[in-house]
Structure 1
Amino acid sequence: MTTTLSPYRADEAGFFGEFGGAALPPFLVEPIAEVAAAYEQASQDPEFQRQLQSLLAKYVGRPSLLYFAENLTNALGGARIYLKREDLNHTGAHKINHCLGEALLAKRMGKKTLIAETGAGQHGVALATAAALVGLKCEIHMGAIDIAKQHPNVVRMELLGAKVVPVEEGGKTLKEAVDSAFGVFASNPEDYFFAIGSVVGPHPYPSMVRDFQSVVGREARAQILEEEGRLPDVLVAAVGGGSNAMGLFDAFLEDESVRIIGVEPAGEGLDGDRHAATMTLGTPGVLHGMRTKVLQDADGEPSAVHSIASGIDYPGVGPQHAHLEQLGRVEYVSVTDEEAVAAFQLLTRQEGIIPALESSHALAEVVKLAPSLPSDAIIIANLSGRGDKDVDFVADRLRGI
């Protein structure tokens, strides 16, 4: 549900300042407006909220732990490091939070099939899981490159009954998967519900997905107050489209004492074109039905992007993130593939926790930041997913394959 009470929220048209909105071809205006109206009603329906909260508690296993990483804290020196353990959710990442919400909404609207894109496969697995739970069909579009990198998640989706559609066009990654899924949805919006996997796309998706993910930050806020008796000094989360980050950040935006940092992929370096650093190097443009910051070429077309982490390999970003940067409320930095892999190894060896490569970007920034802060400072990093899906890929990389 949108509101204008906060400078951090969208207006009724879905704009966060100059970013957001719904830039749609005429044939998609009515189907997307239908989603917006249905979500507005559901967000105010106590029974819908009760059903969602019950599933989050009894099916997903919420609240997720807020874990004090004592070994990592001691190894780095400086600030006390807490990890919000979204990797412990059913399906292994934060994605299940909004997928359940979207599946319940689709069921409420009488849709037959959930359709979506996926990069790392976590959104696809979560959506296929939610579809199986509520009794809907599921169709997942995935870039051919990502299918090769994330084969275990492809198997999981198919075991759950989803149809996985390989996308061979263009860069064969997340952006092309979104394009492909949108095309199928547009051909039959009566039966399909487009379940966008992040805080991106036309209104109402950036606000809707944020609302479903905001449980992460609400829990973290209550947990750190109980554990430490005060708010954290710093929040850190990885940003591709930006759903796990907005999930953590949302509950703290009004707390000006809390420094908030989003971490995007610098890939092989910002001096070339093998990165996905949209916040750092992007410019305002329109992508997938929203006005936001976009990595684009001289003709205004989305650039090819790269990240070792398939889930954040995207040439755009959620419009609320672009707005928060413009307001100066959130800082956005980038880390390289190499730094992310080093952080992946460090957490694994220090805490016995194997993080997703997406989450490893946030951890890499913690590695840089923690030693510079006093020992009574508190950092919360969102561990958005587990790294089971990445272990073979990382092992091959470390062996130089």
Structure 2
Amino acid sequence: MAASIVSQIVARGLRGASAKHLFLDKFKCARVSSRRWLNLQEYQSKKLMQESGVTVQRFYVADNAPDALQAAKRLGAKEIVLKAQILAGGRGKGVFDSGLKGGVHLTKDPSVVGELANKMLGYSLTTKQTPKEGVKVKTVMVAEALDITRETYFAILMDRACNGPVMVGSPQGGMDIEEVADKTPELIFKEVVDIFEGVRDDQALRMAAHLGFKGPLERQAADQIKRLYDLFLKVDATQVEVNPLGETPEGQVVCFDAKINFDDNAEFRQKAVFALDDMSESDPTETEAAKWDLKYIGLDGNIACFVNGAGLAMATCDIIDLHGGKPANFLDLGGGVKEKQVYEAFKLLTADPKVEAILVNIFGGIVNCAIIANGITKACRELELKVPLVVRLEGTNVQEAKRILSESGLPIVAANDLEDAAKKAVAAIAKK
């Protein structure tokens, strides 16, 4: 039972996450999925690549059918691929509420692009990674479709074990790289990069050879590898994954698809990149929470969880579930909390019509419990809290915090420990 709650949290928290981080050695592959706050559309990532001299398909972006048609004509390509732009995978097998099947279409007739775009733009596309109602498509990418003779995999990522960047490649691209690493680990190649020296020519050429590029293509692939590393540094990426890095019949090495993870701590110097963040597909409550440095994930229950620390949040959700309740959310205050954040957190929780009780579970380490208590009392008074509130506080300045709550005159239910808090929150709803 508890495991299902944790899996819901993980699934919601990692929605929109980019490529998996791979830490590979000669014999094994370990996978760590990272939460990604900066979400870029495919065309935005490709534009960043273009600006670094990386070879990608020629493309245009349109937000209406006539512009999409004109873009298709301007390309003058033998074949055109039209892609709906949403922050979710599985677009090719998705379905629009207009009746159109597939968010990715190939055509050799430019005039068809306008008709297809008309059935995409303004309609919701549902895939295996979107909510049930789908995601409304606001832009489409009109690109030149290129034949691929051969597909390879290439990535640059930060690896703690190596204290810096690592290049990972395989001649088996266009598929699940974890499966390749598991079944044929000998086809996974790794090059550790000296952060001060960068990618050397011999390293780039060796990786290109491992990927199976031959003759003039080997030098061309090595050049693309070095340009991808330049992009990796320029945008403060934690990972740049290209799958596939392909070879065309015309003898060109092209990055057909790329996923980029960014270091959130570098936002202060990557303002132009972070300004591209498309928040339109994010949950409005999660977006509002992020403005106050709060981590919020909505769930389907009726007991709001207000905690500090992701581990404590999941434990709180689990124990509520264990005692017959259902968590309505996962809200993590984190450290360095101010009263204003507590107040804003309560605003988010009380705005959810599903919430019938609130459970506050704070373990004060770097968090001062008195600050939490002052924030709670202020929120209760100003927001005129109408639902039962159960509070469990432990740690720094907890006695002062308990005094503030007890002298507030507010109907706050104190709990001795986490289990006691969960039982009282569930019981409070049962009494209603």
- Asked if Structure 1 and Structure 2 have the same fold, meaning a TM-score greater than 0.5 normalized by the shorter chain, the answer is no
In our comparison, the structure showing a higher alpha carbon Rg is 2
Identify which of structures 1 and 2 has the higher relative contact order when contacts are C-alpha pairs closer than 8 Å and 6+ apart: 1
TM-score w.r.t. structure 2 length?
Answer: 0.21
More helix as a share of residues: 1
More strand as a share of residues: 2
TM-score w.r.t. structure 1 length?
Answer: 0.22
